[in-house]
Amino acid sequence: MEHTYLPKQFGKLIGKSVNTLQKWDRKGILPAFRSPTNRRYYTHEQYLQYRGLISSEQGLTIAYARVSSPGQKKDLAIQKEALRAYCQQQRINVDQWVEDIGSALNYKRKGFNQVIEQIELGLVKRVVIGYQDRFVRFGYDWFEHFCERHGTQITVINGETLSPEEELVRDLLAIVTVFSARLHGLRSHKNLIRAAALGKDITDDQGAQDQTPPYA
């Protein structure tokens, strides 16, 4: 008889909470089995599948497309058509088409997280993308290694036309804006620390400066 796990045991094995397992069960991402008394349980085969230790020959092939803003829906359609043409040419049968509208710097994209969860569960054989930054802007090597560990191959078309330069500029500006704000916050924090070390109250000093006659 195959070894089975209660949700708490299974969650501990794969590093997920019981709440996450319940969510995956409801969404059909990782359905739990039911005992005659309707108690949920998981099998050892599901554990092996999650760890990517079961052959992925029968896994899914996912085509993933992304643009940064709703105004680029025409570009999204062109991107999907390019992916479709490539897959037809290479005789790749696509099981799922996933698309996102959002920055490559945003790792909370719905479609992106859906793909990552399925890869983590060992359900995906191949992901086809037009260009590396369609998937992520930075850290692509990490995600590629993550896919390899779970038996998933990433196929990149490398079409330059699928990576608009204006998106890269927009993302770089976003990074500069975020770090500028953080730098300003750090300077303010350092000023507070310096004032505390000197036994001063910055607000009192500022008030004193405001009350000083302009020609003193």
**Cα 98 from chain centroid (whole Å):** 14
CATH T-level assignment (fold) for domain 4-50: Multidrug-efflux Transporter Regulator; Chain: A; Domain 2 (1.10.1660)
pTM for this entry: 0.54
Asked if the model's pLDDT at residue 76 lies above 50, the reply is yes
Asked if the model's pLDDT at residue 36 lies above 90, the reply is no
| Domain residue extents for the chain | 4-50, 60-163, 166-205
Q: What is the pLDDT of residues 117-151, one digit of tens each?
A: 999 888 899 999 998 888 888 888 899 889 888 88
CA-based nearest residue to 133, from 97, 90, 113, 103? 103
Q: Is 103 a known active-site residue?
A: no
The CATH number of the structural domain formed by 60-163 is: 3.40.50.1390
Exactly one of 17, 55, 56, 68 is catalytic; which is it? 68
From CA 208, how far away is CA 91, in angstroms rounded? 77
Mean pLDDT taken over the chain: 79
Which region among 69-83, 87-101, 136-150, 164-178 has the lowest average model confidence (pLDDT)? Answer: 164-178
